[in-house]
Structures are given as structure tokens and as C-alpha cells.
A = this chain, B = another copy of it.
Amino acid sequence: MSLLTIGTVAFDAIETPFGKTGKILGGAGTFIGLSASKLVDKVNIVSVVGEDFPIEYIKIMEDHGIDTKGLQVKRGGKTFFWSGRYDMDMNNRETLDTKLNVLENFDPIVPDEYQNCDYLMLGSLLPTTQKKVIERLWKRPKLIVLDTMNFWMDLMMPVLKETLTMVDVLCINDSEARQLSQEYSLVKAAKVIMAMGPKYLIIKKGEHGALLFHANDVFFAPALPLEDVFDPTGAGDTFAGGFIGYLAATDDISFSNMKRALIHGSALASFAVEKFGTERMVDLTDEEFEERLQQFVELVQFDIKVENAY
């Protein structure tokens, strides 16, 4: 089934306890695309870069199943730039610099060939832009997933809340869930947020896994315990890309299939953090991915038949 994503295509500059990069390929849209394309043949992307964006990066995207017809290249414009630093606790990061550049006046034009998409992934971006994309689609997709972050909550909460009424799944981290709901308990936060519109809520907890809420159901997907988390940049986007990529590939939006989708997302995210930026995702083989999925099965599966457990 056809999958459309919007999200930033960017330059990142990253510092971790393990090292420091120059300007490298990054952006939510990039990570979502690289991840989802491990599961579906083609990911259509609507995004924007400046004329400083290297043709090699576009080639990397194309070579990995990302269709870049919807990627606008702005003459005289500069690509969105983010720079950040992580300490040993990779769950916390400090933003050193953000330059919106071409993102500021980005008009998300959806090419006709991208219309009638079945699955829509709205990567973290201005909520106004996310809303505009939904409104521009000729028909409503079967499933709309939205990712956002504290930055947009701080700046544009009213339009973000409007946009939330239009989506099926919201994907945010634990501190964002607390900010959005004004509740500390994630179970309470989930109830408040689902009343805002999304019928499904994914709360990402970084190295502590992710929770999926729907009505009274809850599912927990673990993160794989890793020797080293080298660079967590893009892990959340990779997770979201794997989630929607699996749903689009199987075309099944039941809760039990969403569980499987979450595990696929977690497995892909566990690779993203092994090297700087997109490096590991670009190299990832199908064999490695299958092996990692098996590790997730072994990590959490147990056999308890409750009626005769003791």
C-alpha cells in the first residue's frame, strides 16, 4: 500500500561522548524514509532542502527506496540545520543550534502521483505544515500517524491541538506526553491525549522502550539493551518509520498488527543508534534485520499459562 511521509531533510551536527561529526545527512523525513523502505518498496516524501544540499545525499535516499519527486530544492535557500550534544545519559540532549532556513516558508506541495496514499506519516515539523498536508490530500488516508516534539508544543500548541483532531496515531516521547497532557502518570496522560483526537497513542521512552495505548488496551515494546548507544539522533523517527512501514506493507491496522509494527520499529531503531546519523541504516542488510527481530522475540517472550501457573 502506498506510503507518503513528510518530515525534515536536514544537516545535523552531533556531539556524543563517543565523538563529534561535521554536517551530516539527517532529518526526521530522512530517517523515516530509510526505515520504512526496509519494509515497503517505495516511500514518497514531501520535504524541502536548500541548494547547498549535496546531490550524493539525494542519491542515497533514491538508492534506498525514497522517491524524491516531492523533495523541493530551493534556489538560494539553505537546508534546515540542527546541532546537538548528548551526555552519557542518551535520553537527554542539549540543542546547540537550530536554523530553520528553507523550512520557515515551506509550502508542502503534494505531487499528483503521491495523491490517494493509503498511509500518511507526518514527521515532526511545524504543525501548520502537517495540517496543510492532510487538507491537501484528495482523499483521507486509511491511517494518519503524527510525530511532534516539545519545540512545537512550546511554539504552536493551538494549531497542534487542531491537527491532533485529524489524525489516528500520535507518536511522542514520555516528557512530551506529560507536557501535552499536564499529567505525570503516563497512563493518565494517555487518557487525556486520546480524548484530544488520536485513537492510538505511542509513548516512546528511549532506552526504556515504547508503549502503545488504544482504548483500554496497552502494549509494551522493549528497547534492546545495547553495549553502547553511539548516537540516538533519529532513533524516534526510525522507530516511527518502521511502525508505519510495517503497517503499510501488511495493510492491516488491527491492534495485534500494530504490536508487530511496534516491534519492527523498535528493531530498526536499535540499529539507528549504533553509528552516527544515518550511517547504520544505510548499511543495514535484511539478514541483520531478521536476526535482530529474533532477538526481540527472545528478549520478551515467556510462556505462562495463567490458569495453572502455580
**A residues whose Cβ falls under 8 Å from a Cβ of B:** 39, 88, 184-188, 205, 208-209, 211, 217-220, 222, 225-229, 246, 249-250, 256, 259-260, 262-264, 290, 293-294, 296-304, 306-307, 309-310
Contact = CB atoms under 8 A, between A and B. Distances in A.
A263 B219 contact: no
Contacts of A306: 290, 293-294, 297
Contacts of A302: 219, 256, 259-260, 262-263
A87 to B, nearest CB: 10
A206 to B, nearest CB: 10
Contacts of A294: 306
**A-B residue pairs, 9 tightest by C-beta:** A208-B208, A259-B302, A220-B222, A187-B227, A300-B300, A294-B306, A293-B306, A187-B225, A88-B184
Given A218-B225, A220-B225, 19 more contacts: A88-B184, A186-B225, A187-B226, A188-B227, A188-B228, A205-B208, A208-B208, A217-B298, A218-B299, A219-B298, A222-B222, A222-B300, A246-B310, A249-B310, A259-B302, A260-B302, A260-B304, A290-B309, A293-B304
B220 A310 contact: no
A267 to B, nearest CB: 10
A257 B226 CA distance: 24
Nearest to A223: B220
B303 A220 contact: no
A134 to B, nearest CB: 27
